[in-house]
Amino acid sequence: MQGSAAIMDILGAMSPGSQPARAQRFTGPAQHELPREFVALHKRRRITDAIAELTAEQGYEATKIGDIVRRAGVARKTLYDNFEGKEEVFLTAFDAAAEDVIGRVEEVCAEAEGDWEERVEAGLSAFLAYVAEEPAQARMCMVEAMSATPAATRRYEDAVQFFVELTGRHVPHSDQLPETMEETLVGGVAWIVHQKIRRHEAEQAMDLLPELAEFMLAPYRSVAGVGRGRVNA
């Protein structure tokens, strides 16, 4: 009995966006007992996925606990066993998404072959690809987080700060450049992507790559002494 419920949970978790727990029920006798922690983790994941989807659709404020448990297909008690309330669900979802995108960007920057221009462009490209692939998560992090709660605003600022520092690690250094260059560049990129998401065009985020790469690289070229010319579209 417990085993079949656990499998249903996992099936639900494996197909995000589908109506969970409505699919065929397993009624057969032979069932695997899935480890408790595994089930609990997937339930948490379903709850955080649900809040990402719901805030993307209707905004943080309009999203109620009832909506979240319905979407996640879990009992209200399960949510409260795992989280203090809506804000903690949101912050947990934010952290998971931020960790995901930061991990991807950091990795491609580190692994990109070639010079600093290629590393920066690879990182930007990975960031835009994330936005295109995960529009709901992107909207949660870059639009909703800004106005959700003060703690969410701080999370957003911390994530921006991470990208500022990451950029700083990969671009050529020169005391000829303003100290705030990375901050204004990252802020500018964030603003363009933010607007793209608000216009429900997150899926086309990759279209921005040539323009934003040029925007980010141009200030550093003169100090890098490698006039490669414009980035190809």
Rg (CA), the chain: 21
Residue whose tokens read 């990975």: 126
Residue 209 in contact with other proteins, rule: CB under 8 A: no
Stretch of residues binding other proteins (CB under 8 A), selected from 9-17, 33-41, 64-72, 148-156:
148-156
Q: Which of 23, 130, 15 is nearest to 4 (CA)?
A: 23
Residue 206 in contact with other proteins, rule: CB under 8 A: no
Residue 180 in contact with other proteins, rule: CB under 8 A: yes
Residue 178 in contact with other proteins, rule: CB under 8 A: yes
Residue 127's Cα: distance from chain center in Å?
Answer: 9
Residue 115 C-beta-side C-alpha neighbours within 13 Å:
10
Pattern of binders to other proteins over 53-92, x per CB under 8 A?
A: ------x-x-------------------------------
Residue 15 in contact with other proteins, rule: CB under 8 A: no
Residue 204 in contact with other proteins, rule: CB under 8 A: no
Stretch of residues binding other proteins (CB under 8 A), selected from 15-23, 32-40, 101-109, 172-180:
172-180
Indicate the length of the chain as a whole number: 233
Q: Which of 176, 132, 184 is nearest to 160 (CA)?
A: 184
155-12-86 Cα angle (round to 5): 30
Which residues in this chain contact other proteins in the complex, by CB under 8 A? 59, 61, 146-148, 150, 153, 157, 160, 176-181, 183-192, 194-195, 198, 208, 210-212, 214-215, 218-223, 230
